[in-house]
Every structure is written in C-alpha cells, then in structure tokens.
Amino acid sequence: MRIVVGMSGGVDSSVAALLLQRAGHEVSGFFMQNWEDQDPESGCHADADRKDALAVCAQLGIRFHSGNFAADYRTRVFQHFLDEYRAGRTPNPDVLCNHEIKFGAFLEAVRAAGADKLATGHYARNAFSGGRWKLLRAHDQSKDQTYFLHTLDQEQLGAAVFPLADLDKTEVRRIAAAAALPVAAKKDSTGICFIGERDFRTFLSTFIPARPGALRTPEGTAVGEHQGAMFYTLGQRAGLHIGGRAAGNGEPWYVVGKAMASNTVYVDQGHASHWLQSRSLTANALHWVAGVAPAPTFQCMAMTRYRQPPQACTVEVAGDTCRVSFEAVQRAVAPGQSVVFYRGDECLGGAVIAATDAPAIGAPA
C-alpha cells in the first residue's frame, strides 16, 4: 500500500513512518508548511522542523516531499481564529486545522499524487464496523487526540492511518531511540505554531487592535484594568494583576464573563464562583462522524475541553444545533470551544459551544 506520512519533524510522526515501513508499505514523508513568518523572534520552528523531517526520511531511505499550505491555512483556519476572538469567543484552531488542512487540502494533495492512504502521528484509532468508519480513542488515553479529530467525516476517516493507535508515548520514545532516529529525544511541540514563543497578547494585537478597559465585579465595581477583552477567557486566573485588594476576601480572582460591546471583563473571587457554574449548554455547527446523529435525544459522555474527564450528559439534537444537559455542574465552559461526544471509546462527533446556562452578569444572583 502506498502511504504518505504527514511529517511534522517530531518523534510521533517519525515513528509512524518507521512502523509503516517495517510493516512493508511503500512509504513517503511529506512536510506541510502551514505558516509563513518573517519575524526571526517568532519562535515558530518550521524551518528546523522541516530539516528534522528531512533527516528522518533520509535515515529511513524514504522519499521526502514538502508543500506550502500557508494560503489555505490563512483563509480556512486563521481567519476564523481572528473572527472568533473579535466576537469574544475562545476558538480551537487545531480542530479546524485537522478538518480543513491536514485531512482537507493535504489529503487532496496526497490523493493527487496517487497515494492510497494518509498517515499521521495522532494518538487515535479508526475501525470499519457495521458498514461505517468509527473514530476511537487511542490506547494511551493520556495522549488521546480524538477531541481534535471529531470533525472528520467518513471519507476522511477512511483515508486515515494512525500507526500509534496502540502505543503509549513512552513506547514511541523507546522505538525512536532504538532506531537511533535523530528526533528521539526532541521535545514535544506545544501551543500554536503561528504564535510560537511570542507573547499571545502581543501577537494577537498585531491583527486585532487591543482596547484596554475596566475589570469589574459582576456587581459593577471596578477592580482594575484589562489589556483588551479579546485576550481573556472564562476561568482564567493568570494575568489579571488584581490580587491582594483590601476589599477582597483573599481568594484568587478569575474571569467570569465578558461584554464585548462595552469592552468590559468581569471577574470574581474563588475557583468555585457560581458565575462560572453551568449545568447545560447549547452548541451549533454539529458534526457527526457517522454522518447522522445517534438519535434525536440520547445519553453519552462529553468533553468541553481537551483532557477533561468525560462527563455524563443528555444530548437533544435539533438540526444543526443541540442542547447538552450534564448530570454534574460544569465549571468555566467557554463559548467557541468544542463539546465532543463519546460512547465508550467511540467518538460520536461534536459541536461548537455557543452559550451556557451560567448566571448572566447583571441578572439577580
């Protein structure tokens, strides 16, 4: 089988290529350039990552290709990222990147080159059962990435190969070291490449002008100044610079709401602030891996952020929207993030969080 591996220059995709080669497949590596940045201080290591991917392919004796998908990324992922921040929401660009770029524009290029499958270093599993493809959690649940892959459709999932599906991260490192791969000890990448090592606020303000404004309690008392409402997300504690106020109760301050029209960020004290608590949410842009919802109303487990323990809930579907009611109170559920649904190890799909039933700022507590 002819398989193209999306090579990031990291240990996961490198071991994915190695395992496929050992299994007897005709393997080639492909490095995707998704961002162009002329700032040498950006900390985005695309050039170094490309060299690492090339070195691994050379060691394995497989063909190496590279392609520039920066234009697609800007129009299909980054523009959405900016639009969401302008609206006061907290987007997740990795989810959109997987659907639009890695298993979208990139998959189209792979097929045009005559390959049978596209492999990545994601920690996830796929299986064909009951006449359809299923997206399943990886063996290493601490690294499972199905949360970021939940928008894949049947065609995309059927074209995917996940060689690390049954491996722990420690085993991946061991395989890389035993094979003397040059990236065996390379640190895992974190965050978003287009931001790199730069301060998030500095980066975002180059695209969206920041407007400082008031930090207020839900009752309206000014307690400080923020640097721009777009920079803050529900539940955030760091960077508020309002600790130690004489009028406070000694507990840490957290972001509990935003009003973009008035450029106000609302804060309250205490991790368990009731302003952050909700029992239900509404979501839109629904996507089901199977192509259809399991039922108009069904029970399952859901995650509202990556690595959150799955939470029991009931989902009520109405066209492209849904209402999710949780058995337990949820904290700091952020509009713009994804709610992703599971039954056992199977990822059913997900949606973009639009709103929650957390107490409305300005309404009676």
Q: At CA 278, angle to CA 272 and CA 282, rounded to 5?
A: 150
Structure tokens at 11: 């240990």
Find the DSSP H helices in 11-60: 11-22, 46-60
Residue type at 154 in one-letter notation: Q
Q: Shortest CA distance to 267 belongs to which of 225, 230, 305?
A: 225
Is 133 exposed, middle or buried, given 0-12, 13-18 or 19+ CB atoms closer than 10 A?
buried
As a whole number of angstroms, the distance between CA 68 and CA 51 comes to 15
Q: At CA 30, angle to CA 25 and CA 33, rounded to 5?
A: 165
Which residues does 64 contact at the CB level (< 8 Å), separation at least 6? 7, 28, 29, 30, 31, 53, 54, 57, 58
Going from the C-alpha of 347 to that of each of 127, 193, 325, 326, the distances in angstroms are 12, 26, 18, 18
Residue 313 annotated among the catalytic residues of the structure: no
As a whole number of angstroms, the distance between CA 212 and CA 321 comes to 34
Neighbours of 215 (CB within 10 A): 21
Which residues does 270 contact at the CB level (< 8 Å), separation at least 6? 249, 251, 252, 254
> Hunting for tokens 């307690």 — which residue is that?
223
Which residues does 118 contact at the CB level (< 8 Å), separation at least 6? 3, 4, 5, 6, 103, 106, 107, 110, 159, 160, 161
Q: Out of 44, 97, 322, 347, which one is annotated catalytic?
A: 97
Residue 300 annotated among the catalytic residues of the structure: no
Which residues does 204 contact at the CB level (< 8 Å), separation at least 6? 85, 210, 230, 231
Are the CB atoms for 2 and 111 separated by under 8 Å? Answer: no
Q: Out of 193, 300, 313, 347, which one is annotated catalytic?
A: 193
Q: Which residues are catalytic?
A: 97, 193
